[in-house]
């Protein structure tokens, strides 16, 4: 890339340890990285490699055991509740499991209203708020007028994740952490949701940190790819470098695990 | 909300418990409307009148008379006149006079009197009987003659001028009064207690106070437990350590021992019903706090809480909207249990004589205490303690039923 890339989120020696003694797990093990503004960064790894733990630390939802996180080149300080709330205006997330992401006692419009309030729109006239929510919903192909007075659990998994994207649409954060947003839904809505995410990214120009275990997907959407194994980044670079010319055996295995539709299955190995 | 209510009332156990509890409540509130009497008013002179209808003898003399010829009336009259002591004395004589003991049945009046007639001989002296005893039996024999008398009884009044008795009324054996026409009738459906107070009125008032005590105690315990549990669970760290330390203190010293010690040190005079309720509440919050804490810990890292944080909500807002509703059903269930155990705790305290002071209001525990002190159970005065026990059992039973019913609704794995 020709222009100078601006640092957006970076970390040094980031470590997270759960438990102690016999139950001690090092979920994230001394990782360093630099994510640049406007890019799509993919973090790929198999289940249990520490992807979600890393993203929760980046979001400031759990404390790091060791290491430092830098936001826009500055050391991040979110010890006070106030700083945290300020930080969360810049960084947002879509979680892995849409079914547990919503408070089952709150109606859908309150989810979207919170976003408007967070952007300082709490005092806007009611009509204006409704118009904004309607716009956000239509962006993700949901009909706002059918959703008011409904509860999140009355939606399908795909609709819930689309509602999550509508949230991001209203919040317009600098960084979005999407933690396997499509792993719990069917292949058909998966494509739609990815399309919407990428379109939204273009529209508001945010950095997207895309967490997935599907290395093929990472190849198509990202500007840089990080491969994670047992809490460590074992390989990183552009998709071409990492996926077309993998150096690590772990990366090769991840690539080989992707089923290839046009390849004939070797049935002799089965049974 | 409506859906949840429907589900709750779908559970058979909850419905049964709810029905028992509401009928109990309804009775407590309706009864005083019809019988607005002070629950501690002393009516009877004497202890433990058995349940029944009490008709004023004096007033029944002035009530219009009906002549009824009833078969068997004479027999029952004689049986009633022959007292327990007389029967035992007769038996003693008969045995001493050589009648086979197995043939004597003191409950069978007819036979007993026949045996007496056949055996008794005033001139006969029986070995081992003193002269005084012989005279006693002669007097008894004369008295027994009058058992058969059917002449009218004469009611006389004293003429203050001449100081003589004037005949005012005659009562014959076939005269009856209608109970409905006697102006002064008192019904004691559950008899009276050791102080001569109407047991039912007292029981209703006691149930009401005990429920209030249980409710206040349950509310206090639940509020304290809930607040501490939420703080310890959500904030964690130092706050959690302090709260944990306090709860451990309360766990190491069994709450009932603490309850006894505190009640004792407050002293009889200061112990009103609400004080006792507060003391029970302050000593029984620990398990609620523990349970709430562990539930909050499992909730606080859920994604919906994370989303709420990311939406810029403050900690109090998150606790109130993202944590509390999720444990509300559990807290309500815990509170129902706290209420019923509060009632039981009051009863246990009062039986030990550490309950509320006795002059103000009756409670279920106090009633048990009174019955016990006056040895109702030894004298066979079942009405002084059995209804109280039944009410305590009914309250605990219905509340536990409601609780299991709720459990089935909130915890799908328990549904049958
Ligand atoms: N709260 C926790 N307490 C203890 N251990 C945890 C906790 N959260 C995660 N771990 C452990 O940390 C490791 C990484 O978990 P993480 O959820 O980050 O994996 P992941 O890469 O997101 O997996 P997946 O693809 O299945 O979502 C796992 O071994 C997990 O058991
Ligand atoms: Mg994960």
Quick check: CB of A56 below 6 Å from ligand 1?
A: no
Q: Tens digit of pLDDT for each residue in B327-336?
A: 988 898 899 9
Asked whether A25 lines ligand 1 (CB < 6 A), one says: yes
Domain boundary among B177, B211, B227: B177
How far CA A185 is from CA of A20, A159, B208, in Å, comes to 35, 10, 56
Q: Do A114 and B314 touch (CB under 8 A)?
A: no
Cβ–ligand 1 distance for A129 under 6 Å, the answer: no
Query: Is any atom of ligand 1 closer than 6 Å to the C-beta of A18?
Result: yes
Q: Length of chain A, please?
A: 271
B211 and B259 share a domain? yes
Q: CB-based burial of residue A244 (10 Å sphere; 0-12 exposed, 13-18 middle, 19+ buried)?
A: exposed
CA nearest to B310 within chain A = A88
Q: For residue A12, what is the enclosing H or E element?
A: strand A7-18
- Minimum CA distance residue for ligand 1 atom 3: A18
Number of H helices, E strands in chain B: 17, 6
Q: Distances from the Cα of B383 to the Cαs of B51, B131, B285, B346, in angstroms?
A: 7, 44, 35, 21
pLDDT recorded at residue B414: 62
Residue bearing the CA closest to ligand 1, atom 25: A47
- Chain A positions in Cβ-Cβ contact with residue B3 (cut-off 8 Å): none
Domain extent listing, chain A: 2-104+176-256
B366 has a pLDDT exceeding 50: yes
Q: Is the CB of A213 under 6 A from ligand 1?
A: yes
Same-domain check for residues B169 and B198 = no
Asked whether residue B47 is assigned to any structural domain, the reply reads no
How far does the centroid of ligand 2 lie from the alpha carbon of residue B279, in Å?
Answer: 49
Answer whether A56's CB lies under 8 Å from A66's CB: no
Q: Are B368 and B348 in contact (CB under 8 A)?
A: no
Q: Which residues of B touch A59 (CB under 8 A)?
A: 306, 310
Q: Would residue B21 count as lying in a domain? A: yes
Q: Which ligand is nearest to the CA of A50?
A: 1
Q: How many domains does chain B have?
A: 2
User: Does residue B143 fall inside a structural domain?
Assistant: yes
- Evaluate whether B214 touches B364 at the Cβ level (below 8 Å): no
Query: B162 and B199 share a domain?
Result: no
Q: Does domain A2-104+176-256 have CATH number 3.40.50.2300?
A: no
Nearest chain B residue (CA) to A92: B310
Is the domain of B362 the same as that of B213? yes
List the one residue out of B406, B277, B242 whose CA is nearest residue B350.
Answer: B277
pLDDT-derived band of residue B89, with 50, 70 and 90 as boundaries?
confident
Note the ipTM here.
Answer: 0.91
Residue B151's SS3 state is coil
Do the Cβ atoms of A97 and B303 come within 8 Å? yes
Report if residue B182 sits inside a domain: no
Put simply, the answer to whether B310 touches A101 (Cβ < 8 Å) is no
Query: Which backbone phi and psi does B178 adopt, to 5 degrees?
Result: -85, 125
Please state, in angstroms and rounded to a whole number, the distance separating the CA atoms of residues A61 and B408: 34
Q: The CATH number of the domain where B255 resides is what?
A: 1.10.3720.10
- Domain range spanning residue B163? 65-177
* Torsion-angle region of B267 (φ positive above 0: left; ψ -120 to 50: alpha; else: beta): left
A212 lines ligand 1 (CB under 6 A): no
Q: Mean pLDDT over all residues of chain B?
A: 88
Per-residue pLDDT tens digits for B161-206: 888 888 888 888 889 999 999 999 999 999 999 999 999 999 999 9
Of B177, B209, B244, the residue at which a domain comes to its end is B177
Query: Chain A residues with CB inside 8 Å of B326's CB?
Result: 105
C-alpha B203/C-alpha B384 separation (Å) is 10
User: Would an 8 Å CB–CB cutoff place B186 in contact with chain A?
Assistant: no
Residues of chain A with pLDDT under 70: 1-3, 259-271
Residue A14: beta bridge partners?
A31
Q: For the segment B209-257, what is each residue's pLDDT rounded down to a tens digit?
A: 999 999 999 999 999 999 999 999 998 889 999 999 999 988 888 878 8
Asked whether B356 and B271 are in contact (CB, 8 A), the reply is: yes
**Distance, first Cα to last Cα, chain A:** 50
Residues of chain A contacting B, Cβ within 8 Å? 56, 59, 61-62, 81, 84-85, 88-89, 92-93, 95-97, 100-106, 111, 114-115, 117-118
pLDDT of residue A2: 47
User: Which residue's structure tokens are 């109606």?
Assistant: A107
B366-393: average pLDDT = 91
pTM of the predicted model over 0.90: no
Query: For residues A233 and A242, is the Cβ–Cβ distance under 8 A?
Result: no
CA atoms within 13 A on the CB side of A261: 1
Q: How far is the CA of A117 from the centre of ligand 2 (A)?
A: 29
B113 and B262 in a single domain? The answer is no
- Which residues does chain A have within 8 Å of residue B302's beta carbon, measured at their own beta carbons? 100
Paired tokens of B78: 């004689």
pLDDT digits (tens, 9 = 90+) for B110-152: 888 888 888 888 887 777 788 888 888 888 888 888 777 778 8
Query: Could you tell which of A48, A96, A180 is best to mutate to test the pocket of ligand 1, judged by most ligand atoms within 8 Å of the CB?
Result: A48
Q: Are B168 and B155 in contact (CB under 8 A)?
A: yes
B73 located within any domain: yes
Q: Please tell me the distance from the alpha carbon of residue A59 to that of residue A80, in angstroms, as a whole number.
A: 14
* Three-state SS letters, A39-70: CEEEEEECCCCCHHHHHHHHHCCCCCCEEEEE
How far is residue A114's CA from residue A109's CA, in Å, rounded to a whole number? 9
Q: Is B403 in contact with B336 (CB distance < 8 Å)?
A: yes
pLDDT digits 0-9 by tens, B307-351: 999 999 999 999 999 999 889 888 988 999 999 999 999 999 888
Residue B176: in which H helix or E strand, if any? strand B175-176
Is ligand 1 within 6 A of the CB of residue A49? yes
Nearest to B169 by CA among B149, B153, B158: B153
Contact call for residues B217 and B326 (beta carbons, < 8 A):
no
* pLDDT of B160 over the 90 cut: no
* Contact residues, chain A, for B304 at CB < 8 Å: 100-104
Residues B255 and B362 in one domain: yes
Strand partners, A161: none
Write out pLDDT tens, residues B52-82: 999 999 999 889 999 998 888 888 888 888 8
Residue B399 pLDDT > 50 = yes
Identify the residue among B311, B322, B326 best suited for mutation to test binding to A, counting A beta carbons within 10 A and taking the highest: B311
| In a shared domain, residues B27 and B132 | no
The B residues from 287 to 316 touching A (CB cutoff 8 Å) are 301-304, 306-315
Task: Please give the pLDDT value at position B412.
Answer: 60
Q: Are residues B132 and B210 in the same domain?
A: no
Diameter over CA atoms, chain B: 112
Could you say which of B177, B212, B238 is where a domain stops? B177
Q: Report which bound ligand comes closest to the CA of A45.
A: 1
Strand partners, B166: B157
- Round to whole Å and give the CA distance between B265 and B226: 28
pLDDT computed for residue A266 by the predictor: 58
User: Count of CB atoms within 10 A of residue B38's CB?
Assistant: 11
- Asked whether residue B33 falls in the same domain as residue B130, the answer is no
C-beta of A23 in contact with ligand 1 (< 6 A): no
Q: Residue A105: list chain B partners with CB under 8 A.
A: 321, 325-326
């Amino acid at each position: 890339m020709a222009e100078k890339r601006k640092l957006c989120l970076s970390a040094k020696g980031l470590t997270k340890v759960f438990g102690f003694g016999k139950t001690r797990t090092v979920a994230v093990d001394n990782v360093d990285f630099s994510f640049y503004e406007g890019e799509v960064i993919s973090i790929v790894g198999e289940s249990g490699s520490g992807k979600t733990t890393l993203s929760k630390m980046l979001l400031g939802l759990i404390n790091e055991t060791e290491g430092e996180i830098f936001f826009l080149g500055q050391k991040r300080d979110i010890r006070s509740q106030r700083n945290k709330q300020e930080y969360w205006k810049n960084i947002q997330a879509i979680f892995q499991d849409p079914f547990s992401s919503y408070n089952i006692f709150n109606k859908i419009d309150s989810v979207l209203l919170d976003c408007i309030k967070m952007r300082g729109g709490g005092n806007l006239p009611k009509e204006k708020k409704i118009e904004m929510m309607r716009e956000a919903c239509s962006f993700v192909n949901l009909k706002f007028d059918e959703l008011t007075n409904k509860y999140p659990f009355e939606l399908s998994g795909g609709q819930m994740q689309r509602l999550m994207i509508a949230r991001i649409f209203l919040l317009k954060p600098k960084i979005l952490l999407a933690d396997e947003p499509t792993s719990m839904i069917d292949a058909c809505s998966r494509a739609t949701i990815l399309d919407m995410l990428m379109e939204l990214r273009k529209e508001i120009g945010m950095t997207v940190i895309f967490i997935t275990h599907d290395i093929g997907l990472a190849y198509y959407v990202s500007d840089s790819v990080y491969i994670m194994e047992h809490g460590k980044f074992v390989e990183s670079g552009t998709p071409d470098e990492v996926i077309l010319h993998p150096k690590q055996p772990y990366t090769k295995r991840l690539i080989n695990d992707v089923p290839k539709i046009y390849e004939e299955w070797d049935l002799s190995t089965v049974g | 909300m409506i859906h949840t209510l429907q589900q709750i009332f779908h559970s058979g156990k909850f419905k049964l418990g709810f029905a028992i509890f509401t009928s109990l409540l309804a009775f407590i509130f309706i009864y005083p409307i019809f019988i607005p009497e002070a629950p501690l008013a002393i009516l009877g002179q004497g202890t433990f009148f058995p349940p029944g209808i009490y008709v004023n003898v004096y007033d029944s003399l002035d009530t219009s008379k009906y002549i009824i010829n009833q078969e068997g009336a004479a027999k029952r009259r004689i049986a009633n006149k022959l007292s327990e002591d007389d029967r035992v004395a007769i038996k003693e004589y008969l045995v001493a006079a050589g009648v086979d003991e197995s043939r004597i049945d003191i409950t069978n009046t007819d036979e007993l009197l026949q045996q007496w007639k056949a055996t008794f001989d005033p001139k006969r002296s029986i070995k081992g009987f003193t002269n005084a005893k012989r005279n006693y039996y002669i007097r008894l024999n004369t008295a027994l003659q009058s058992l058969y008398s059917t002449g009218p009884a004469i009611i006389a009044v004293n003429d203050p001028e001449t100081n003589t008795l004037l005949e005012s009324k005659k009562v014959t054996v076939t005269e009856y009064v209608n109970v409905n026409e006697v102006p002064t009738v008192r019904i004691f459906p559950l008899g009276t207690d050791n102080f001569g107070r109407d047991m039912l009125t007292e029981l209703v008032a006691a149930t009401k106070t005990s429920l209030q005590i249980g409710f206040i105690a349950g509310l206090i315990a639940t509020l304290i437990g809930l607040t501490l549990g939420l703080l310890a669970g959500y904030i964690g760290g130092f706050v959690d350590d302090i709260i944990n330390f306090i709860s451990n203190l309360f766990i190491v010293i069994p709450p009932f021992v603490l309850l006894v010690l505190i009640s004792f040190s407050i002293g009889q005079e200061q112990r009103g019903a609400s004080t006792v309720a507060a003391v029970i509440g302050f000593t029984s919050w620990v398990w609620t706090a523990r349970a709430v804490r562990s539930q909050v810990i499992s909730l606080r890292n859920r994604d919906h809480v994370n989303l709420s944080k990311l939406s810029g909500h403050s900690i109090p807002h998150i606790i109130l909207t993202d944590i509390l509703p999720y444990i509300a059903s559990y807290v309500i269930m815990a509170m129902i249990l706290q209420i019923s155990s509060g009632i039981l705790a009051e009863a246990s305290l009062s039986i030990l004589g550490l309950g509320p002071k006795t002059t103000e209001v009756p409670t279920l525990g106090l009633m048990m205490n009174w019955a016990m002190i006056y040895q109702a159970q030894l004298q066979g005065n079942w009405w002084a303690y059995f209804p109280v026990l039944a009410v305590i059992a009914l309250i605990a039973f219905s509340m536990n039923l409601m609780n299991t019913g709720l459990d089935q609704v909130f915890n799908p794995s328990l549904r049958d």
